[in-house]
Structure 1
Amino acid sequence: MAAKDGGRRAYIGSFTTAGGLGLTTAAVDPESGALTPLHSTDPVRNPSYLAASPDGRYLYAVSETPDGAAAAFALSPEGPRLLAPAVPVDGADPTHLTLSAGHLVTANYSSGSVSTLPVRADGSLGGPARVLAHRGSGPQTDRQEGPHAHAVLPAPGGHWLLSVDLGTDSVRVCTLEGTDGTPVLREEVRLRSGSGPRHLAFHPRGDRAYVINELDPTVTVCRWDGERGVLTPLGETRLLPDGDASDSASRDSSTSGGGTPCSGTYPSALVLSPDGRFAWAANRGHDSLAVLSLDASGDTATLVTTVPCGGHWPRDLTLHPDGRHLYAANERSGDVTWFTVDPATGIPVRGGAIEAPAASCVVFV
């Protein structure tokens, strides 16, 4: 729903258990991209990832907790209003969510599963959840002892649903079946062992997909056949300059509160430019944004440079719908920084920041 001033709104998710404010609403300057916080609300715990309905009337949030849930909010110029109590997803620690075929779909990290909830006509969520449990493990026993679904999103066209699993080094291609939206596995695509895939983004053409890997700072380029629902890995690109010491090889065994090691580089999120010329990746630990140039086919991604993210531990990276500004949600420094993208080089230039404790996600409506 459009704001009274005619501009967009940014909604910032956060970890309330780490001091976050819940959902923060901010005004967006259309020229500079600057954010101005307006108000915050915390009716659910740890709304760490958000998604807006296509018509901009509703906002959905995971509740990233051991007894995971999802919540629906009605949007107005006055801010988000919780429609009903959060609905259980029958999965632990949901980290990501999307809308597909009349359902809300969550990726549940700790339980290694994908859940669906029906979206009602008034925007609220129904139940019970339908769950697809992942199976498998990976070679890094401290992080890949079992499945860890980290992201889920629909492929262009809406028929296929792809879930990215850090624990099993794979991407699963699914469909939603029946009126209850039961997720059904159609294919599991194996990526390089130990890479730890985390998130995925599609090329604007819809025929290429890019998987960002958390356990080794790389992005995997894939061909996507939307007719058959087939994902084919083509190659990898590193997200750090050659010789950079902040690589996966520099990790030690110490961990932070969320079980994520404190040293090394752990990429988190990837976004593509609307024209498909550039991609940007957030590197936690290295605390940088990697700038990638894509060739005309989309098959080759070349690292151009890295720039500081403006904070510490960029958990999420978002591109403004106009394609001119990038936003990094820096979880551990507790801020959101914004950048103006050079249209010729793709290199982002820092514009400013706002305080946002335990920030984890930014979406625009």
Structure 2
Amino acid sequence: MKSLRIGGYGPGIVTIGGDLTRVAAPSFLAAHPALPVLYAVGELERGWLTAFDTRDGLAPLDERPSEGSLPCHVAVDPAGTLLAVANYGDGTAILQRLDARGAFEGEPIVLRHQGSGPNRERQEGPHAHQVVFHDDILHVSDLGTDEIRRYRYDGTPLEPIRLPPGTGPRHFAFSGSRLYVAGELDGAVTLIDGERRTTVPASRREGLNYPSHLQLEGEFVYVANRGPDTITVLLADDLSPVAEVPSGGAWPRHFAIDGDRLYVADQESAGVAVFALVDGVPEPTGEVYGVESPACVLIM
């Protein structure tokens, strides 16, 4: 049976229907693709990374520094041999080898960066926000420098994907060679398909919008919008609008999809709202799990 686990800025990792595992600021979680192991970042000034064995609750397996400040995202490559972390505070990312147990092996490759953007308050320096393994390359969104940074698995830097100044790329996803990017600072979703680029507003509601999580599911792109507090559904083919619905709370920071269910972490209303997906469109079920300051939903 699958477990629903919630990370955030409360007292620890909440397992719905299970126990609370106390750990500091576990703002993002990731599961190993083949082993019963869960990874959590500790979004602290001196960032931390913890591995848990999930066979009987959450038992600590290994831990180490994230080599940067305020780690906000963690991911494991499809082969289960590499882990990556994005440190928002100083823009540093790391590549960490994993052993046969899913524990950390050897010293990490530390990927430092420089640069800035036109937004003086948010882009004074690099701010790594998400790490994604795709086509044997590590991709790192950098909100501070308006880039998707790219690295080989040995840490060799490749030419980045550059976005318009002030985009503030946050979360992104691939579909083959197509790249979808949520801009936290420009409030838009951009589709990059070869030389063709399409950009649309992430929300059509009035007021400021700070998109957070973006996810591809079948023929649809889903985006969480902080400010209007909505979930937008777009057609993946051309970003044409399908629907925009209330997120079930305030400040939707992240969401997860499991079959015909959508779970939204509404950070400022202390709840994870549950939606049914009907022809791709979220419909509220009325069910909300009370969780203090949720920031990430993981289904494993």
Bin for the TM-score computed over the shorter chain: over 0.9
More strand by share: 2
Structure-1 residue corresponding to 2:266: 330
CA drift of 1:289 comes to: 0.4
Which one of the candidate residues 151, 154, 167 is aligned to 1:174? 151
Structure-2 residue corresponding to 1:21: 11
Give the distance between the partners of 1:334 and 1:187, measured in 2 at CA.
40
Any idea what the Cα deviations from partners look like across 1:155-178, whole Å, max 9, x if unmatched? Answer: 1x4x1111000000111121111x
Q: Would you say the 8 A contact 1:71–1:125 is kept in 2?
A: no
Structure-1 residue corresponding to 2:221: 279
- Larger radius of gyration between Structure 1 and Structure 2: 1
Give the distance between the partners of 2:193 and 2:36, measured in 1 at CA.
34
Give the distance between the partners of 1:160 and 1:129, measured in 2 at CA.
16
Structure-1 residue corresponding to 2:137: 160
CA drift of 1:128 comes to: 3.0
Q: Would you say the 8 A contact 1:87–1:127 is kept in 2?
A: no
- Counterpart of 1:293, as a letter, is L
1:360 and 2:257 matched: no
Which one of the candidate residues 137, 141, 148 is aligned to 2:127? 148
The alignment covers a number of residue pairs equal to 297
Structure-1 residue corresponding to 2:199: 236
Structure-1 residue corresponding to 2:177: 207
CA drift of 1:108 comes to: 0.7
Q: Would you say the 8 A contact 2:262–2:276 is kept in 1?
A: yes
1:350 and 2:288 matched: no
Give the distance between the partners of 1:56 and 1:218, measured in 2 at CA.
36
TM-score under structure 2 length normalisation: 0.95
Structure 1: 5+ residue stretches without partners: 1-6, 27-36, 178-182, 225-231, 247-263
Q: Would you say the 8 A contact 1:138–1:144 is kept in 2?
A: yes
Structure 2: 5+ residue stretches without partners: none
Give the alignment of 1:280-295 within 5 angstroms.
Answer: 280-295=222-237
1:64 and 2:43 matched: yes
CA drift of 1:66 comes to: 0.8
Q: Would you say the 8 A contact 2:35–2:102 is kept in 1?
A: no
Any idea what the Cα deviations from partners look like across 1:241-261, whole Å, max 9, x if unmatched? Answer: 2xx321xxxxxxxxxxxxxxx
Structure-1 residue corresponding to 2:60: 82
CA drift of 1:127 comes to: 4.4
TM-score under structure 1 length normalisation: 0.78
CA 113–186 in structure 1, closer or farther in 2 if over 3 Å, else same? same
Note the aligned Cα RMSD (angstroms). Answer: 1.5
Which one of the candidate residues 155, 158, 163 is aligned to 1:186? 158
CA drift of 1:117 comes to: 2.0
Give the distance between the partners of 1:141 and 1:215, measured in 2 at CA.
12
- Counterpart of 2:226, as a letter, is R
